[in-house]
Amino acid sequence: MKNKSFSIFLMFILALTLYVLNSTAQYEDYTQFNLPKNAKARLGKGELTGGTRGIAFSPSGNYLAVASGIGIWIYDVETTREHALLTGHARAVRSVSFSLDGTLLASGSLDGAVKLWDVATGENIATLEGNIVLFSPNGTRLASGTSTIIKLWDVATRENIATLKGHTDSVNCIAFSPDGTLLASGARDGTVKLWNVARRRNIATFTAHEGFVRSVTFSPDGAILVSGGAHEIKLWDVRTHQNIFAFEAPTGGVQSLTFSPSGKTLAYISLTDVNLWNVVTRTNIATLKGPGYNLFSVAFSTDGTTLAAGSWSDRVRLWNIGTREEIATLEGHTGWVTSVAFSPNGATLAAGSWDGVNLWSVTEGQNIATFAKNLVGVSSIAYSPNGQRLITGEGHPVSVAQGMEDGTVNLWDVAAEENILIMKSHTNWVYSVAFSPDGHTIASGGGRFGDYGIRLWNAKTGERLKTLTEHTDRVSSVAFSPDSNTLASGSWDNTIQLWDASAGQHKKTLIGHTGPVESIAFSPDGRALASGSRDSTVRLWNAMTGTHHKTLIDQARWTVSSVAFAPNSRTLASGSADGTIRLWDAVSGAHHKTLTGHTGDVESITFSPNGDIFASGSADGTILLWELRLFTTWGNIKQIPVIDSTRHLQFASSSVNILIPAETVLLPNYPNPFNPETWIPYQLAAPADVSISIYAADGTLLRTLEIGHQPVGIYESRSRAAYWDGKNALGELVASGVYFYTLTAGEFAATRKMLIRK
């Protein structure tokens, strides 16, 4: 026993040493930051969604705030690692702004709310109105734009002290003069207005822009106001209100502009590049290649040495202004997720989005491959039955030169990440694709400008076999029956069509939806067909006869964007445009659970082959993984036998899930960081006496959780994992910091780290 204890102690010391030596070990897994209730992991950081002030340096220069589809990411500038994620907005964040002392952060969102955050704790301390926001230079006032008006707020009291009216269309951008006495605003009505903050009145209106004004900024001395629009960049004398200079904007117009702290350089961005303009000589002095397409925001650090630019292609790039060299790229953000699909063995999740295809390891939560980056608008994806191929339907590509034209269907070798077949026949965007379960046929549905047909392809040769023309509007979804004999198609013409998949003959039209059909899915047993529609309903049909069985109503009255059956054919999930997921009993039609956490339309849902988890992909740019057994307590749930070649877990068919891991494993605790409680999951390949010991960073034993004798199984859910309440053996809450936990199970021992953040 002494030898065993000594071995465990050595293991702990080794883990501690590795932690100290590895400078990156102090950073926690960002996939676990502020997870929604009941979610297991988040894949991707969300779409970058900010406007002209979508990124901001803290006054100290230590942190960079980035607006995204799910909240505000705070990055450590020196290490470029994720520091925190602030969540609470119901929709995408448009703008961020730090207070003068850096203690507060304000964010404006498409949900119409402005939130004030305590930077040290990440706590939301106030909620005001607006969707764009900016602190005054001294930090005592806050300006927010909402629709055609601008509101001024007292930061200390959170009271609205003024409402500025005058624009006739939405306010896009705002800027305070350096002394805080003036406020400039630009709007979609093409005007720039100058306001006296103390008197709360408009003192000048500039109407020289054609199209809407996207960005305004003052020079550091307050003498010049610069405005950028679709065609021109204009400099205005703040004292005389006269236009003193103008030059042509780059193609696509100006998205954002800002002065360097010295006032000598004006940085402005087009769709693809960052331009540096000398204010004295009035010439362009450098062009920095942007982090992708559709740049939206640019910002200087307080000392002027670093420039950051954010892109809707989901990267933030940092440059050294002195050398004009790139010093870092912040990645991990993903575009609008349109489609998700598990590999047949359940080890990998593929996600199609507006910026390509990402493959994720389900067990590790890490991005393991990215391809099809030359495509913009991967609208649908599907795995081949053997998991070796992936089919994608595309919208429009960035580069026609690479052979990816509008209306193409592409077949990819997953291991090689190579395109091996290009199928051209659609005349415009392809909105839906599906592999037949026997692997012989690919189906694709068209969806724009008159191409509303369905194509059937030979999956090996890419030869077009049939063209099915019955729909009169976009074919939003196609699905094969489990026996591959029937193809179902859902359309914006409000109908569902059933086809003989081999003969290509029309069998039946299913009528009942009163709005466009967005998604369809066969149950794994082949008996039922589910459809989701913009009429806020899910309809269940008899897959054999086409007769209507039940109508499930989304009580929130939002579009039902996606539907999917669990492997047991009893559980049905539906994703909604309000960002929620609903779980239903597919037999009785009873609604059992509504899951919240996405801030955008839930575009796609898919279940893992063993039915343990399901994934939801959203317009917010993230994928959430959910553990199904936390919610499904009804019915006799039977699992489909499958072997996961990566995790080597074997599932047996029975009324109870029997999971036999190939090896005993200690898994990462969740949530992590946490305050004050956490769950510690593990797997047992053999029965054992289980205990978990909690250590401080210096090796001091704080607490031992005696679990007792446990049988073989997976102990991952909150009802089965070990639970620690954050207290030591004396019942005292431990302080913030890094801790280690060691699992002892028979002869097995393993150690991991965790973080308490208060």
Q: Tell me: the pLDDT tens digits for 488-536?
A: 999 999 999 999 999 999 999 999 999 999 999 999 999 999 999 999 9
pTM of the model: 0.76
Q: For residue range 129-179, what is the model confidence (pLDDT) as tens digits? A: 999 999 999 999 999 998 999 999 999 999 999 999 999 999 999 999 999
Return d(Cα 174, Cα 132) in angstroms, integer. Answer: 8
What is the pLDDT averaged over residues 447-476? 90
Structure token pair of residue 302: 């307080």
Domain hosting residue 748, numbered range:
2-22+653-756
What pLDDT is stored for residue 314 in this prediction?
A: 66
Give which of 394, 481, 480, 483 is closest to 432, Cα–Cα.
394
Residues 137 and 263 in one domain: yes
Angle at 425 between CA 423 and CA 430, to 5 degrees: 80
Average confidence (pLDDT) over 41-63? 90
Per-residue model confidence as pLDDT tens digits over 92-102:
999 999 999 99
Q: Are residues 266 and 118 in the same domain?
A: yes
Q: Is residue 714 part of a domain?
A: yes
Residue 119, pLDDT above cutoff 70? yes
- 86: enclosing H helix or E strand: strand 81-86
Cα 715 to Cα 283: distance, rounded to the nearest angstrom: 64
Among the candidates 306, 330, 354, a domain finishes at 330
Q: What are phi and psi of 264, to 5 degrees?
A: -85, -25
pLDDT of residue 516: 96
**297 lies in the same domain as 193:** yes
Q: Read off the pLDDT band of 465 (50, 70, 90).
A: very high
Angstrom distance (rounded) from CA 717 to CA 613: 11
Strand partners, 424: 408
Structure tokens given for 669? 């605790």
Q: Output Rg (C-alpha) for the chain, integer angstroms.
A: 28
**Residues sharing a CB contact under 8 Å with residue 261, sequence separation 6 or more, in sequence order:** 220, 300, 302, 303, 304
- For the ranges 300-309, 331-340, 488-497, 590-599, the lowest mean pLDDT is seen at 331-340
Contacts for 107 with CB less than 8 Å, ≥ 6 apart: 67, 72, 86, 89, 93, 95, 96, 97, 114, 115, 117, 133
Q: 670 or 534, which is more confident? A: 534
3-state SS of 222-284 is: CCEEEEECCCEEEEEECCCCCEEEEEECCCCCCCEEEECCCCCEEEEECCCEEEEEECCCCEE
- What pLDDT is recorded for position 556? 73
Confidence of residue 639 (pLDDT cuts 50, 70, 90): very low
* Banded model confidence at residue 638, pLDDT cuts 50, 70, 90: very low
| Least confident residue range of 390-404, 423-437, 627-641 | 627-641
In this structure, are 657 and 614 located in the same domain? no
Task: Work out the average pLDDT over 602-615.
Answer: 93
Domain count of the fold of the chain? 3
User: Does residue 257 have a pLDDT over 90?
Assistant: yes
Query: Where does a domain end: 297, 330, 363?
Result: 330
Tell me, yes or no, whether 292 and 196 share the same domain. Answer: yes
Lowest mean pLDDT among 319-333, 638-652, 661-675: 638-652
pLDDT band at 395 (very low <50, low <70, confident <90, very high): low
383 within some domain: no
Work out the pLDDT band at 429, boundaries 50, 70, 90: confident
Confidence of residue 63 (pLDDT cuts 50, 70, 90): very high
Q: Which stretch of DSSP H or E encloses residue 7?
A: helix 2-21
Are 202 and 280 members of one domain? Answer: yes
- Decide if 579 is inside a domain: yes
Region 452-464: mean pLDDT is 93
Q: How far is CA 312 from the centre of its chain?
A: 12
Question: What would the two tokens of residue 341 be?
Answer: 């699909």
C-beta separation of 753 from 712 below 8 A: no
pLDDT digits (tens, 9 = 90+) for 202-246: 999 998 778 789 999 999 999 999 999 888 999 999 999 999 999
Q: How many CB atoms lie within 10 A of CB 696?
A: 15
> Is residue 686 one of the residues assigned to a domain?
yes
Using pLDDT thresholds of 50, 70 and 90, give the confidence band for residue 353. confident
Sign for the pseudo-dihedral over CA of 740, 741, 747, 748: negative
pLDDT, one tens digit per residue, over 355-380 is 788 999 998 888 888 886 655 578 89
Q: What is the pLDDT of residue 271?
A: 75
Summarize the confidence of residues 392-419 as an average pLDDT: 69
Same-domain check for residues 122 and 222: yes
Which 3 state secondary structure label does DSSP give 361?
A: strand
Do 139 and 213 fall within a single domain?
A: yes
Question: How far, in Å, CA of 372 to CA of 366, rounded?
Answer: 18
CATH no. for residue 610? 2.40.10.480
Residue whose entry in the numeric block shows the structure tokens 């209730």: 37
C-alpha span between 137 and 133 (Å, rounded): 13
Q: How far apart are CA 280 and CA 286, in angstroms?
A: 15
User: DSSP for 411-431?
Assistant: EEETTTTEEEEEEE--SS-EE
Q: Which two tokens stand for residue 139?
A: 């930090």
My answer on whether 587 and 683 are in the same domain is no
Mean pLDDT along residues 82-90: 94
Distance CA 594, CA 574 (A): 10
Residue 323, judged by CB atoms within 10 A of its CB (0-12, 13-18, 19+), counts as exposed
Backbone angles phi, psi at 635, to 5 degrees: 75, 170
Quote the CA–CA distance of 338 and 340 in Å, as a whole number: 7
Residue 20 DSSP class: H
- How many residues are there in the chain? 758
Measured over the CA atoms of residue 308, residue 62, residue 35 and residue 743, the dihedral's sign is positive
Measured between alpha carbons, how far is 423 from 413 in angstroms, rounded to an integer?
15
731 pLDDT band, cuts 50/70/90, is confident
Within 44-173, where are the H helices? none
pLDDT at 296: 79
Domain end residue (candidates: 307, 330, 353)? 330
Residues 149 and 288 in one domain: yes
With respect to residue 438, please indicate whether it lies within any of the assigned structural domains.
no
Convert 55-81 to b/e letters by CB count within 10 Å (16 or more is b).
bbbbbebebbbbbbbbbbbbbebeeee
Q: Are residues 663 and 547 in the same domain?
A: no
- CA torsion sign for 58, 61, 67, 68 is negative
DSSP string covering 564-627: EE-TTSSEEEEEETTS-EEEEETTT--EEEEE---SS-EEEEEE-TTSSEEEEEETTS-EEEEE
Mean pLDDT, the chain, as a whole number? Answer: 86
For residue 199, which amino acid is it?
R
| Residues near 148 by beta carbon (within 8 Å), at least 6 away in sequence | 165, 167, 168, 169, 170, 171, 187
Contact 554, 576 (CB under 8 A): yes
Position 677 pLDDT exceeds 70: yes
What DSSP state is assigned to residue 718? T
Cα separation, 744 vs 95, whole angstroms: 48
Least confident among 3-17, 34-48, 671-685: 3-17
CATH assignment of the domain containing 157: 2.130.10.10
Evaluate whether residue 484 is within a structural domain. Answer: no
Domain membership flag for residue 603? yes
- Which residues, in sequence order, are bridge partners of residue 457? 442, 464
Tell me the C-alpha distance between 246 and 243, whole Å: 8
Question: Which H/E stretch holds residue 684?
Answer: strand 682-684
Cα gap 649→661, rounded to integer Å? 5
- Are 190 and 255 part of one and the same domain? yes
The DSSP secondary-structure symbol of 725 reads -
Question: Can you give the CATH number for the domain in which 696 is found?
Answer: 2.60.40.4070
**Would you say residue 689 lies in a domain?**
yes
Of 150 and 333, which is predicted with more confidence? 150
Determine the Cα–Cα distance for residues 740 and 601; give it in Å rounded to an integer: 39
- 569 confidence band (pLDDT: 50, 70, 90): very high
Which DSSP letter does residue 673 get? S
Write out 517-577 in H/E/C secondary structure.
EEEEEECCCCCEEEEEECCCEEEEEECCCCCEEEEEECCCCCCEEEEEECCCCCEEEEEEC
Mean pLDDT of 57-78: 94
